[in-house]
Structure 1
Amino acid sequence: MSAPNVNRMIVIVGATGNLGRQVVQKLLARGVPADRVVAAVRRPEAAQELGVPVRRADYDHPETLPAALAGARRVLLISSPGPFGQRPAQHRAVLEAAGDVELFAYTSILGGERSGARLAEDHQATEAAIRASGLPHVFLRNGWYLENYRPSLAHAATSGGVSVGRQTGRPTQPAGSAGEIVGSAGPDARVASALIEEYAEATAAVLTAEAPKPVYELSGDVAWSFAELAAEVARQAGRPVGYRRLTPAEHLGVLTGAGIPEPVADLLVDVDAAVDRGELATKTGDLAALIGRPTAPLAEAVKRVLAS
């Protein structure tokens, strides 16, 4: 990775999600002047505290996009939160408005075209459109965020009721009964997760690099199993916590019963099938190389997620 260049204008499309907010912070921490970072968002009023210029950029109103991207030399498109199936069209609208930028970066999914998860289909279509555009590009293929499990981990560590939410811009897993984490992946299935902050730091490094690679497969240094995850939560909570494997149908029922729309719940069940196939256990070292240190070990990552 070459020395950072902090003088180009960088536009972050989708800057009010948890990842986007942290990318803005990491760019500023790397010395990029605040007036060279633009937050392009659907709701400008939600981004005023970021401390950088804010422009309206609504995927569903493409007429807002050329002005939002005006002057950009590098664009980061953080994948739309949905609806699933509609995201490729939303992403193409941003791509078409980007003009002749010198770099178009996109947050994709670990494995890219090799992934068999249905959650990957929108990312695969977007990657294909970006390649076809001819623009210089970089795919930041993010693995799973440990924060995706925040409601489950917090619930398992306490005796409270079921807690669900969309804390990360990705669908999150609800908890089962107190003291247990549930899912349809096997207890020995592994996930090489990392923290959102680590992905954000890596993204900022790429956006300020002179000559980034075209593809980064980003994941944690250690692939943990669900049994290990439950054991670590138990250790930190000081109470028994286990992992209970459900059938896909049972898992779907738990998700929809917690209020997650069935199409989203169905995708989450499919993610657990991908976990069983090992698709989220890939470790490449790209993330650690970009941030200049090993990713947080499971104990530290769980501690931070439980404290957040």
Structure 2
Amino acid sequence: MTRPDILITGASGQLGALTIAALRRRAPDARIAGLVRRADAAEALKAQGVEARMGDYTDTESLAAAMQGIDRLLLISSNEVGQRYVQHRNVIEAAQAAGVGFVAYTSILRADSSPMELATEHRQTEELIAAAGLPHVFLRNGWYSENHAMGVGAALEHGALAGAAGQGRFATASRADYAEAAALVIAGGTVAPGTALELAGDESFTLADYAAELSRLAGRSIPYADMPQADYAALLKGAGVPAVMADILADSDAKAAGGALLDDGKVLSGLIGRPTEPWQQTLAGAVAAMEAA
């Protein structure tokens, strides 16, 4: 197979798969490879005509092999909170050693100044990439609309939407919107190296707004129950959410109360050339999927 120019890490994940699909639409002549950990994921990529390279963020030898011949790298952040810094460092060091010419990294909104605990490892990764001297673009993704849609089932079951965000507003966009942006940047020619893109949805909402729309869709009242951060974390843990993630989610809500997940710059829609998917549409899709299940 012809040597690929572009490597997408996390290629079998939700964002990775959507990015590859968007990249194939946006840049049909691009040579694409995907980094995956499992043989079945590799076969799925090959069926799409995408080269699969086996590798793991924790396996430096596999990363070194996967980077060979790569010109442009999209580093999709690890989902292992607390282990991200080390894992990302492994990827960056492998890219640097292989002579990769450009890195795009999926970070978080205002990573350089965000008070969210979740931002810490993103900020450290951005610093690593800059210190490595690699030409780069930081894709500072805001909250995904799907993050909220995941809680719809619990809200319908318990008759209330719980959170700790007060009147804080969330400017969310769909995962597909962020994937389109990643595809455009990694394809090249649209964003100058050294840029940090603050990416968020065109519209924002409070969790009370979200509960009101959920109530409309469900045909019954689903109020928003605002809670202190510690109480919300305890609620999540009681529902089976791992302690580390429960604390992170509660912290994210509490920081959102102060504006950490609000951005009205509309950089994302400007980049992808269309409005971002309305959060109401993502929510309606989640409700419809539950009703059909």
Per the normalisation by structure 1, the TM-score is 0.86
Match status 1:230 vs 2:225? no
> 1:44·1:55 contact (CA, 8 Å) conserved in 2?
no
Query: Which residue of 264, 278, 283 corresponds with 2:264?
Result: 283
Question: 1:37, 1:28 → 2: CA distance?
Answer: 8
Query: Which residue of 254, 259, 264 corresponds with 2:245?
Result: 264
Question: 1:87, 1:77 → 2: CA distance?
Answer: 12
Match status 1:144 vs 2:143? yes
SS in structure 1 of the partner of residue 17 of structure 2 = helix
How much does 1:33 deviate?
Answer: 4.3
How much does 1:71 deviate?
Answer: 1.3
Counterpart residue number, 1:173: none
SS in structure 1 of the partner of residue 249 of structure 2 = helix
Counterpart residue number, 1:185: 165
Give the count of matched residue pairs: 280
How much does 1:234 deviate?
Answer: 1.2
Per the normalisation by structure 2, the TM-score is 0.91
SS in structure 1 of the partner of residue 150 of structure 2 = helix
Greater mean alpha carbon deviation, residues 41-50 or residues 227-236: 41-50
> 1:26·1:201 contact (CA, 8 Å) conserved in 2?
yes
Greater mean alpha carbon deviation, residues 291-300 or residues 277-286: 291-300
Counterpart residue number, 1:14: 10
How much does 1:150 deviate?
Answer: 2.3
Letter of the aligned partner of 2:22 in structure 1? K
How much does 1:45 deviate?
Answer: 2.0
How much does 1:60 deviate?
Answer: 1.1
Mind listing any 5+ residue stretches in structure 1 that lack a counterpart? 1-6, 160-176
Query: Which residue of 58, 61, 73 corresponds with 2:59?
Result: 61
How much does 1:205 deviate?
Answer: 1.1
How much does 1:233 deviate?
Answer: 1.1
Counterpart residue number, 1:212: 191
Question: 1:28, 1:66 → 2: CA distance?
Answer: 25
Question: 1:273, 1:131 → 2: CA distance?
Answer: 30
Question: 1:287, 1:304 → 2: CA distance?
Answer: 22
Mind listing any 5+ residue stretches in structure 2 that lack a counterpart? none
Match status 1:299 vs 2:291? no
Spell out, residue by residue over 1:176-202, the C-alpha distance to the aligned partner (whole angstroms, 9 max, x if none).
x2x21101111x210000100110011
Q: CA RMSD in A?
A: 1.7
5 Å-filtered alignment, 1:29-68, equals 29-33=25-29, 36-50=31-45, 51=48, 52-68=50-66
Runs of 4+ in structure 1 over 6 Å off: none
